[in-house]
Chain A
């Protein structure tokens, strides 16, 4: 069907004809010329980090807290204990996790009573029955307090990080960049994957422009910065 639409649409032919007429052309511009013109566009904005590594990490923590997320920074060996503490403080018992989440992040031991259930294509209603979700991440942007997820092992399907009301996200420090352009450069290789940027918990400012936490996405967000 897609092929039919492409080949036979009189609407498409008409719209393209109108564009060419508007621009005083009779055909589509030459690809090389368009590419060259695009390459020449002014990009005088910041595209690399200006701060030192420690300052970048502090900035990320600061910006995430500004959005009402809970943030802790720990060494790699302390991740399971930190996760256990966060979940018990919030009273979370049933967590969904995507396939491929590094097992060394998960707490274990007899005293630990949280269930970690691996998502294998659960329905939205099933996901709605969990207390929360725990994932890794692809990249984090300090300047904007943003964490980026992609549909890869350890981060999972988009629905999994959307339906549960609580999200615990693990961010390795080597994946933290300072600026948006640095993040986009990292994402470029995998640009075709389903990608979600989140900056704090779900929020709205639709009522009198007052930002309030929590509408439809996870209302509670914990971030564990590792390294």
Chain B
């Protein structure tokens, strides 16, 4: 994987990208191991909650209610955050968000920033924009640091470097931190990151973060993390800039009692992650003196406008659907060509692209439903996948496939035409049916456009006699 950012507008179609990834045995082994471990941990801590289903239902209702009243809650958040000394900015799209952040960093007088892991800033490709403006971003989450130093791209929402194993991480750290003697135990690697970043935490005056939850009732922001790098970035700098999608709103402080139970158990399989921070505006004696929130749309309102796709916005970015997905577990995240990979990526990415790009992603699924089962806010991902497939087909207009389906419809309407078609089919397929020992009665190659079917599966030859023929014959002979 090169350092080129994951961009759904230019990424290859999923089947092509996936085929390439399937050839990378090391990557598949790493992804399989990591997702196995998280799944087992998640299952254990979900099992011990007798009210898990009630929590999921509450989570679903809170998120749906929020989306239905999003304008109300966004304005309430802005009022309360502003009253507490925060400054709220609005960005219609990624470009506007990047401009605002670059401007605010410059205004803070800093030419470097420390960053908390944020998929939203990955979505808008903030780092390249900062660099163009002469601002150096330091990623501080261990996984994001691995990605940044390795000039790689995130492959998972929660554990972005999940596709790298300890030897590969050691190699990156040895090379980029100048530590030829570095060991490969996870403890050694974490220590190296601690040493590398400590000085930056104490020196850099401006922090950039995402947000897990924006609390409308109080104007507060909540960030959930493990390492303490988040606390460093949002406590020590003089200026803090949080970039958040407008979907990150929750109505009230009390709603966190649901989401802070669902998120850690689903995301990392912990009863609670090591650190949660909640802060409201600016506190003169504690933390940054200047605090900005950038509320970004970037096509979220397009998703809101689609009644069937709307539930996509309920996502709280736990990544459980990725860990459980039989497709993601084979291909890893990069094949999706977006920072949002796996089942949630397959529905979120094309919708964020307003269905202009990434149209192959709704097909990157076997519709097995495992993602729906683990989703902590009960997003019916398979339902949305089917809905989006429909959109893609509609968009393509009258294709050869659609035309063929129409003809099938005409044939199926009349018994006479149906029987004639069956006879014709049996004659036409004859030269294609294998008669050697490799698979008698199977077709493994079809010509032209039909070849799409046999590329990945075999087709059984039509039976010599149809049921109708057999039935009629039986009627005559049996009497």
Binding site for B on A (CB under 8 A): 1-3, 5-6, 9, 11-12, 14-16, 18-23, 28-29, 31, 34, 37-38, 41-47, 63, 67, 121, 124-125, 128, 141, 143-146, 151, 157-159, 162-163, 180-181, 183-185, 187-188, 191-212, 214-218
B257 beta carbon closer than 8 Å to chain A: yes
CA of A162 to CA of B301, assembled, Å: 38
B115: shortest Cβ distance to chain A, in Å? 13
A194: shortest Cβ distance to chain B, in Å? 5
B388 beta carbon closer than 8 Å to chain A: no
B442 beta carbon closer than 8 Å to chain A: no
Decide if B92 touches A11 in the complex (CB within 8 Å).
Answer: yes
Decide if B194 touches A215 in the complex (CB within 8 Å).
Answer: yes
Decide if A42 touches B58 in the complex (CB within 8 Å).
Answer: yes
List B residues 301-318 near A (Cβ within 8 Å).
Answer: 301-302, 304-305
Decide if A41 touches B61 in the complex (CB within 8 Å).
Answer: yes
Task: Scan B53-64; emit 1 where CB is below 8 A from any A CB, else 0.
Answer: 011011001100
Q: Which of B75, B140, B278 has the most CB atoms of chain A within a 10 A radius of its CB?
A: B278
Q: Which of A159, A181, A202 has the most CB atoms of chain B within a 10 A radius of its CB?
A: A202
Decide if A180 touches B257 in the complex (CB within 8 Å).
Answer: yes
Taking CB atoms, residues of chain A closer than 8 Å to B38 are 209
What are 30 inter-chain pairs, A to B, with CB distance below 8 A? A5-B88, A5-B89, A12-B90, A14-B92, A15-B297, A18-B297, A20-B71, A23-B70, A41-B58, A45-B55, A45-B258, A125-B202, A128-B202, A143-B271, A145-B271, A184-B257, A184-B260, A191-B220, A191-B278, A196-B276, A197-B276, A201-B274, A203-B274, A206-B146, A209-B159, A210-B37, A210-B186, A214-B191, A215-B229, A216-B140
CA of A63 to CA of B302, assembled, Å: 44
Decide if B235 touches A159 in the complex (CB within 8 Å).
Answer: yes
Taking CB atoms, residues of chain B closer than 8 Å to A143 are 271
CA of A185 to CA of B236, assembled, Å: 29
Decide if A215 touches B202 in the complex (CB within 8 Å).
Answer: no
A48: shortest Cβ distance to chain B, in Å? 12
B289 beta carbon closer than 8 Å to chain A: no
CA of A6 to CA of B219, assembled, Å: 14
B461 beta carbon closer than 8 Å to chain A: no
Taking CB atoms, residues of chain B closer than 8 Å to A198 are 274-275
Decide if B232 touches A216 in the complex (CB within 8 Å).
Answer: yes
Task: Scan B254-281; emit 1 where CB is below 8 A from any A CB, else 0.
Answer: 1011101100100010111111111110
B431: shortest Cβ distance to chain A, in Å? 53
Contact among A206, A208, A215 with B33 in the assembled complex (CB-CB below 8 Å) = A208
B287 beta carbon closer than 8 Å to chain A: yes
* Interface 9-residue window, one of B130-138, B245-253, B398-406: B245-253
* Interface 9-residue window, one of B161-169, B365-373, B445-453: B161-169
Decide if B227 touches A195 in the complex (CB within 8 Å).
Answer: no
A60: shortest Cβ distance to chain B, in Å? 12
Decide if A217 touches B286 in the complex (CB within 8 Å).
Answer: no
Taking CB atoms, residues of chain A closer than 8 Å to B270 are 199, 211
B278: shortest Cβ distance to chain A, in Å? 4
CA of A12 to CA of B297, assembled, Å: 10
Taking CB atoms, residues of chain B closer than 8 Å to A207 are 142, 166, 169, 186, 189-190
Decide if A34 touches B72 in the complex (CB within 8 Å).
Answer: yes
B47 beta carbon closer than 8 Å to chain A: no
Contact flag A208-B84 (CB < 8 Å), given A15-B295, A16-B74, A215-B194 = no
B152 beta carbon closer than 8 Å to chain A: no
B78 beta carbon closer than 8 Å to chain A: yes
CA of A114 to CA of B204, assembled, Å: 32
Contact among A6, A121, A141 with B82 in the assembled complex (CB-CB below 8 Å) = A6
Contact flag A144-B272 (CB < 8 Å), given A14-B92, A124-B236, A208-B33 = yes
B50 beta carbon closer than 8 Å to chain A: yes
A221: shortest Cβ distance to chain B, in Å? 10
Decide if A212 touches B69 in the complex (CB within 8 Å).
Answer: no
Contact among A63, A145, A197, A203 with B227 in the assembled complex (CB-CB below 8 Å) = A203
Contact flag A63-B271 (CB < 8 Å), given A2-B88, A181-B257, A184-B253 = yes
List B residues 90-127 near A (Cβ within 8 Å).
Answer: 90-92, 96
Taking CB atoms, residues of chain A closer than 8 Å to B50 are 46
B231 beta carbon closer than 8 Å to chain A: yes
CA of A211 to CA of B45, assembled, Å: 15
Decide if B253 touches A214 in the complex (CB within 8 Å).
Answer: no
B217: shortest Cβ distance to chain A, in Å? 8
Decide if B96 touches A11 in the complex (CB within 8 Å).
Answer: yes
CA of A227 to CA of B33, assembled, Å: 44
Closest 6 interchain pairs by CB?
A217-B228, A22-B305, A216-B228, A18-B301, A44-B54, A144-B272
Q: Which of B142, B187, B190 has the most CB atoms of chain A within a 10 A radius of its CB?
A: B190
Contact flag A199-B71 (CB < 8 Å), given A15-B295, A18-B297, A208-B165 = no
Nearest-CB residue, chain A, relative to B83:
A2
B218 beta carbon closer than 8 Å to chain A: yes
Decide if B75 touches A199 in the complex (CB within 8 Å).
Answer: no
